[in-house]
Structure 1
């Protein structure tokens, strides 16, 4: 059987000299050479096979035989032709010539188990050593990835080691060939819904213009793109229009595309999906986009059946977002004045940044219907707390009626894009590395208080990567409503100077599917201007969820426009 196993695998492993070949070379008589001799399963020739394959892959000859131990032990019972009994070349015990030897099969299985257990121990020891080198201490309760059973083929174990979660600031700043990096991050200007520059521009036209501008700017060969993911919420048939826009922009038909909808975090989920595909080895270069046109596709009225609607939290899932803002303000005592103060900060920062040309670093001028757009149009200058205080409530029928058009995010239109790949591929292709994807987290909260979800998402993603709030240089937290934003800032106890330094959605606008990517584009641009390192983005999500992501700047510092 040993000779048979080696014969069947000789195209992979070096062939061993069989007894008759040795005899022919040395002049020994052929009958003597063919006499069965005991052969140890642990000799050097078989050791390489035992390391890579389980015994059932080695011990199967060409003809079909029974593999059960019971059948092997009783194989010589009731035989009519005793001439088929031979001595096993492995242990010398009698066996049928066309059957496996039960004794050798058992010995081989025991040896294979011993080898795999030792291999698993070496993998765990290696991973714990790496973790200790990074953190200085060994986690006394390692994650399942450290203690899971070793797979048959060793390269899989090595891949698992390369995808273990980095923990601590030095770990996320370290550079490795398999890192997921961002080589391009831009957005279109944002248009004010119903009145702005994109009010008559459907989603497919927005995407088409952004695809074309991106390919022209980056000189990226579209045939090298492996996958595209688009985050969007409200357009009808989003997959069809996204696919059509990509094809019309010159992206080959063999490049697949998908859409993802997790409401306000859809753009971040698109980045996450592409990053995970790259980490899994399924994709090498991918595009992640976020897009929304709320002028043409306002929030559809969700409908649920009467049976589902009877559940209180299920009923809350479909309530208007303005209702959730008032619930947060009323429940957590966020006054109208507090909301207006936070809103004024956002308006003043955004108008100041626009006046200094700060947003030019992140906006990619897009030509649609012969017109080139390069500036955000929702931003207003000269907004004061007093002017905000004079605005009427938008939702007076709920709570205390503290939400206004001035302290809530404006609905808007726009799109944003990131190109992701591995560090090794980026360096090979000569692509500029802007930043690194570290990871993300998602959470769920009560639907009526969906706006406060960043207070759960931010600590979760920080704990996930062994970071503290002090390790983060810039926070981009979505300003869906001043009520929820103010409460999150105060509960997280983050200095307001670190949050949305160039204003947020209250001033710039909140095209739902775009926001997740837009925050990454804006945050990375701010890190480049200041020479800072770590960005954390977060947003609340309709129906009671939240999301957060961490990114690292690798572009160095550019000319400041502070």
Structure 2
């Protein structure tokens, strides 16, 4: 291991707002600025010491364009001397932000770096970027290689269900469990320490995730029609929610943490990437997880808790089938099906939740992985400090 390491010394997030919910009043820059201010306040770090803000965002159009990371730190009142960049690795954008920030810290390019991201999907709808300019991001030179007319994540979820033999009942059961776990986590106050209360333009305050459907039942889920195939198993109930939210983490070295009186929460132990079938699109967390475990020299049984993004229910179900991880340790506080999936903010949100759970429950190792557009995935192993 390098003499320099990368440790997380602070991590916060907004509540996750449901589509057209209360957070829809908030501009993406302001949501991002809110978590940046809270991060500085909770850690006590002077923002002028931050060498870079690496911000994830998928739909970099309209209100989320012009390097939103830079706009966010300026709106937060941070010094003009602090730089920023904005990253797009699709749904894993802010998990990739953590990877970039950690790499910069370990290499010595950064002493302090902030990683995070945002997506306000109520204000910048999914697919909004496709409406700008002429042409398509998937010309025939690309699609002809794979014999398809285009790429669709929902269809990819159905392909996963078919390949791993997942039934509609299994998908619905998983979705119901996500809501139940998220509701239990909220009721037990397990998210309280990681959430930053957001003051809204209408004068109210939001401090709790909005997406959980407490009245969801197996019977109600069974009534929903498949979205992507008439005979499919994926419904709106088995899909991640369109959401609004932001999250941020502060990274530095153990030596810097000691020097500035900061408490290291977790070390970025291993960070890897993987690519897989771009048509199925959502299966890359499986090879990414194997790669992370192999590189770390750890068996899956050594990982105490997991965050596997619930883009669609077949993703964690197939991942579980291939990795042999303990289902009780995977998304124990619910996932994107219940809480929501604010694209560019999700990676940092999952990691914030993961760090707080590792601290609360004493897990030495935690692993996070996310499927991403194009058949990609990040996987990160954190070590408790």
TM-score, structure 2 as length reference: 0.93
Q: How far apart are 1:407 and its partner, in Å?
A: 1.2
The match for 2:181 among 349, 352, 373 is 349
Contact 2:119–2:344 (CA<8 Å) still a contact in 1? yes
**1:214-225 paired onto structure 2 within 5 Å:** 214-225=39-50
Residues 458-486 of structure 1 show CA distances to partners (whole Å, capped at 9, x for unaligned) of 01000011111011000111111112221
Number of the residue aligned with 1:226: 51
Give the whole-Å Cα distance in 2 for the aligned partners of 1:310 and 1:426. Answer: 48
SS in 1 for 2:118: strand
Determine if contact 2:32/2:117 at 8 Å carries over to the other structure. Answer: no
Aligned twin of 2:154: 322
Instruction: Name the counterpart of 1:332.
Output: 164
Corresponding pairs, count: 376
Tell me, in whole angstroms, the C-alpha distance in 1 between the residues paired with 2:375 and 2:147. 10
- Is 1:297 the counterpart of 2:297? The answer is no
Q: Is the Cα–Cα contact under 8 Å of residues 89 and 372 in structure 2 kept in the other structure?
A: yes
Higher strand share: 2
Q: CA deviation at 1:314?
A: 8.0
Residue 325 of structure 1, CA deviation: 1.4
Equivalent-residue separation in structure 2 for 1:497 and 1:332 (angstroms): 20
Matches of 1:340 and 1:532 in 2, distance apart?
Answer: 29
Q: Which structure: greater helix fraction?
A: 1
Aligned 8 A contact 1:235 1:292 in 2: no
For residues 165-219 of structure 1, give each alpha carbon's deviation from its aligned partner in whole angstroms, at most 9, with x where no partner exists.
xxxxxxxxxxxx622111101110000012x121232211211222223223333
Distance (whole Å) between structure 2 residues aligned to residue 472 and residue 259 of structure 1: 31
SS in 1 for 2:282: helix
Select the residue among 304, 325, 335 that pairs with 1:504: 335
Deviations 1:69-98, CA, capped at 9 Å, x for gaps: xxxxxxxxxxxxxxxxxxxxxxxxxxxxxx
CA distance in 2, matches of 1:388, 1:306: 37
Which stretches in structure 2 are left out of the alignment for 5+ residues? 131-135
SS at match of 2:123: coil
2:268 aligned with 1:437: yes
Measure how far apart 1:310 and its partner are.
4.9
Structure 1 residues without counterparts, runs of 5 or longer: 1-161, 164-176, 555-562
Give the alignment partner of residue 71 of structure 2, picking from 231, 234, 244.
244
Q: Does 1:287 align with 2:121?
A: no
| Alignment RMSD | 1.8
Q: Quick one: higher RCO (CA 8 Å, sep 6+), 1 or 2? A: 2
CA deviation after TM superposition for structure 1 residue 425, in Å = 0.5
Match of 1:87 in 2: none
- TM-score, length basis structure 1: 0.64
Q: Deviations over 1:40-71 (max 9, x none)?
A: xxxxxxxxxxxxxxxxxxxxxxxxxxxxxxxx
